[in-house]
Every structure is written in structure tokens, then in C-alpha cells.
Structure 1
């Protein structure tokens, strides 16, 4: 896993097995003491009575739950959460946009937490009908959203004080990374490419896509947004030349799917850009560029370094 995720994992490991067990026990006790709780969600108020069997519907949400010390309470994860070290051995049930409600219900969850965009809606309705408390929180559109998302997750699970501590730390890390980006001598033009070589999928990202806000916060210019692209559009030689990126940013899985940096440089139009001519291609993991979890500030700092070095 990349640096942002490893930072949380390394911290937990450094505490030792005894401390880890103690922390988990404390979190469970606090959760039990603070529940039931009624919280506002994107689909009305929901009362959470039991957080003993949690299903996170998203990788960054799983990150937050693990960092809150509730890893033992997680009974299953979606595909994006499955990549986290703490998810090893846990059942998986599709991705957050194509949930498998039967697979989720098989884990007998007491509470499920996801972003407002998870679905399909029929799956969410099925979970509710089965008596699962479903907490949906606003999607992350900028790094700072990680702070309110962490607090919302912690409150719903009965550990609000732990959530505040984590949220405050994350807010400080985000502010420091943004200041570092703002002080940089350059303001690089960045093209985010969503590429999946095996699926022959090549898109240029733009406004509304997760990396857009991360690029801006890191002191860069999102060239897709500048071109007026909403979310993403098919990558063409003409769009790449018009974008004129100094840096090409990709997900690490996308980079691997085309055979590395050399593969990206061979994509239509890339060689005609400043980034292509200077072989300036950088990669980060999906969860890092999403910026919605407790490692948002760490990931943003990493992006600042990648863009301005």
C-alpha cells in the first residue's frame, strides 16, 4: 500500500499487540456507552443502536473506522476497502456503486456506513428493510471534507471523542499541505488521466472528479477542468495537446495497466505535451487521490511533493 495508507498502519503496528488490544477494547466500550445515537444522514435521521457488526461502504470510510480502533467490529468490506491491510480475510461484496445486498446481509451487520452516492438505491432500501441502520454521509468533493466525514462516522459509531481527535489532526495536516503547495515557486498544469489498459479505457479527468480538488489544493491547475470537462471525457490527441500539461497524474493501477511510464508516454497526444516531452508522469493510489479519509492530509502532502519536484 502506498505511503498515505502505510502511515496509519505503521502507527498501529508501533503500538504493539497489547496496546492494540487495549485500544480496540476501549473503542468498543466507548461505542457501547455512547449508543444509541440518532444522526442526520443524506436520507433523513437514522438511529444507530448497535455498532458491534459494521459494514463500511467505501475504502476511505473503512480507513476511518479502522483508525478509530474498530477493526474487529468490521464484518465485511466493498472492493475499495478490501485493499487495506486491516481488511485481510474479511468478506467482500462488490463495489460501492454496485453493492450486493445479499452478500452484505449474509454478514448480519447492525450498521452500514457509506457516502451518499453508494448504490444502487434498491440495495440500500433492502438493507434498511432488513433492519440495518444505514448511515449515508455527504460525498467528498475536497480534502477538507475528510474532517466532517470522520466526525460523522465517529458519532454514528458511538466514539465522538476519538473522532474529534482524529478530525483535528487531519485538519491540521491538510492545512499544512495546502500551505506548502501555495508557497511553491511553480503552479504546474496537471492532467489527470483515468486509464485502464486492459479495458481500452482512456479518459481525461475534469471538474467534479476526486483528483480535481486534490490538484487544486496541492497548488496545481487541473487542465481538464480548465478545458470545461465535467467529471471526465474520452482522451484524444487533440484534448491532450490543448491541455498542455506539465505533469500527468494517474492512479497507480492505471499506470500498471499500460506498462508503466513508457506506456503512458505512448498514448495518443501525450508525446506532444510538455509532460510527455519531460517524461513527467506521477502516480498515486485511488484512496489517496480520493482524499476523503484520515490520511487526506498525508496524501495531499505527497501530491504537493510529486507535482512541485
Structure 2
């Protein structure tokens, strides 16, 4: 690593550490990002929540809190009217103008970094615990509730890598075409957590693809979000209209509909979900 890269790396680490420092006043917290809301409930600190965004739908009690709208389409006025002392946001919090306006007010705003990996989940949980001033409690809860799951998942992931299976994750439908996950997505990270490989190799991000392309990918497992499956009356109709019956996944009965946040939110529920799927992929 040359000097310039070293300097940039240490600046990044310093900024990340600063974002996880204990907040001066974490008593009225607004959250923009479902995984962060899940973490606060996971830590037993939900009493500090003042409002959440609409992706914060778990646990069910989170939906009774005041809403600030969609995480990527927030309103400065709406947030400030709730008098927060601390705002926690995921990386896709926006739009950028709103983020800049909130920063200019001097309100404590933390955007939590993540990289869609198993380690990222632990780092995110501990970071939130540090911000709330409960680092020791957070570490204890993590080890009690998640550590054994993560150890089991890591071991099974390594085993599965000896016989790599292809997984296709579908977010929703664009007309008759499934919108599938390419590289550099949360779904790609989730697939790698299972010790599998993404059936999509030709692009980054989320894109609609046709039935012929899916048949050529020939995934061994297909997962569609519960939001996506609502476009169909049944899983059988979904399989028929997307031609998934011609794939290995369709032939072997490995097509599933799952809660998108549980799978792709990279919060406390994601390791358990990955572990259950990792057990049945081979």
C-alpha cells in the first residue's frame, strides 16, 4: 500500500470510529433505516426511539412509532419538527440535500457504514451500542444472542464453498420480468454469507431479466422477497410465469419467498436467515 492509500485508509478508519463515538444525548433518537431500528430493539433500547422511517417494520411495535417517510426521500422539516437529539441513518439515507441541511443544524447525525458481510453485522450492532452509551451491554447481548449462530454459519459457509451452488435473489417484478440482484448488492453479500455464489455474473446492482436469461443461469436456489411474491396468487403461479420450473431450483423444490428485510437488511435477523438457507442449499 503506497503512502497516499495509507493516508486515505487511516482517514476512513478515523471517520468511521468518530461515527461510533458515544452520543452526548441519545434520549430522542430518530432512525432512517430498518436494520438500525431492529438493532435498537435487539439491544433493548427502544424507549429512546422518537420516530423511524417506513422500512422499519420489524418488530411490529416499531410501526406504531411516528414515521419520517422513506429512507431515501426524507424531509428536513419533518425530521426537525420531532426535536431529535440524535439521528441514526443507513448509508442510503437521503436525499443528499436533506442530509446536508440536517448536518448544518448541528444535530448529532450518524451515518452507519456497512459492507454487506457477516463482520459488518457485528460491527453495526456494536457501533450502535457505543453511540447509545451501552457498549458493554451490546457486546454481552451480541454474544448471548448471535455469536453461536455466526460461528455455525461461518463453518457451514466454508463447507458449502466446497460444492458451490448458484443462488438467484429476486427483489420484485418489472412487468413480467423479475428484478434480480447482481454484484455489489446486499443480496450478493447475503449469498456469499451462505457459502454460495450469485447466479448473476454479468452486471452490478438490480436489473430486470427475461425468462431465457434465468433459464441459462440455471440457479440451484431462488429466493423472492415477500413483496415480490405478492404479484402472484401463489408460488406455483410465480414459478410458471417466470419459467423457473425449467431450472434446477424449480426441479428440486428450492424456491422460497422471504421477508426482504430479514434477508437483506444485514441486521440481527440476517445471520439466522442465512444459516437456515445454508443448511438446505446442498
Asked if Structure 1 and Structure 2 have the same fold, meaning a TM-score greater than 0.5 normalized by the shorter chain, the answer is yes
Measured against aligned partners, the alpha-carbon deviations of 1:61-98 in whole angstroms (never above 9, x if no partner) come to: 00111122221110111111134223142111222222
Closer/same/farther in 2, CA of residues 231 and 139 from structure 1, 3 Å limit: same
Residue in structure 2 matched with residue 304 of structure 1 by the alignment: 278
Closer/same/farther in 2, CA of residues 301 and 175 from structure 1, 3 Å limit: same
Structure 1 residue corresponding to 2:187, chosen from 187, 200, 211: 211
**How far apart, CA to CA, are the structure 1 residues paired with 2:64 and 2:205?**
34
**How far apart, CA to CA, are the structure 1 residues paired with 2:48 and 2:19?**
25
CA drift at 1:44: 7.0
CA drift at 1:167: 3.7
Structure 2 residue corresponding to 1:183, chosen from 156, 159, 164: 159
Residue in structure 2 matched with residue 19 of structure 1 by the alignment: none
**How far apart, CA to CA, are the structure 2 residues paired with 1:45 and 1:154?**
8
Report the secondary structure of 1:75's partner residue: strand
Contact 2:20 2:128 in 1 (8 A): no
Contact 1:53 1:111 in 2 (8 A): yes
Structure 1 residue corresponding to 2:122, chosen from 133, 147, 153: 147
CA drift at 1:105: 1.8
**How far apart, CA to CA, are the structure 1 residues paired with 2:173 and 2:85?**
36
Structure 2: give runs of 5+ residues left out of the alignment.
1-13
Residue in structure 2 matched with residue 192 of structure 1 by the alignment: 169
Farther-moved stretch of structure 1 (268-277 vs 129-138): 268-277
Instruction: Count matched residues.
Output: 267
2:274 aligned with 1:274: no
Residue in structure 1 matched with residue 36 of structure 2 by the alignment: 61
TM-align CA RMSD: 2.6
2:208 aligned with 1:234: yes
Measured against aligned partners, the alpha-carbon deviations of 1:208-257 in whole angstroms (never above 9, x if no partner) come to: 11121222221222111xx2221222211232022111211111221222
2:23 aligned with 1:48: yes
Contact 2:32 2:93 in 1 (8 A): yes
Closer/same/farther in 2, CA of residues 173 and 47 from structure 1, 3 Å limit: closer
Structure 2 residue corresponding to 1:71, chosen from 46, 58, 83: 46
Report the secondary structure of 1:69's partner residue: coil
TM-score (norm 2): 0.84
**How far apart, CA to CA, are the structure 1 residues paired with 2:58 and 2:245?**
33
Report the secondary structure of 1:56's partner residue: strand
Residue in structure 2 matched with residue 288 of structure 1 by the alignment: 262
CA drift at 1:279: 4.0
TM-score (norm 1): 0.77
2:219 aligned with 1:245: yes
Contact 2:199 2:217 in 1 (8 A): yes
Closer/same/farther in 2, CA of residues 279 and 172 from structure 1, 3 Å limit: closer
Closer/same/farther in 2, CA of residues 238 and 285 from structure 1, 3 Å limit: same
Structure 1: give runs of 5+ residues left out of the alignment.
1-38
CA drift at 1:47: 7.2
**How far apart, CA to CA, are the structure 2 residues paired with 1:108 and 1:42?**
26
CA drift at 1:186: 5.3
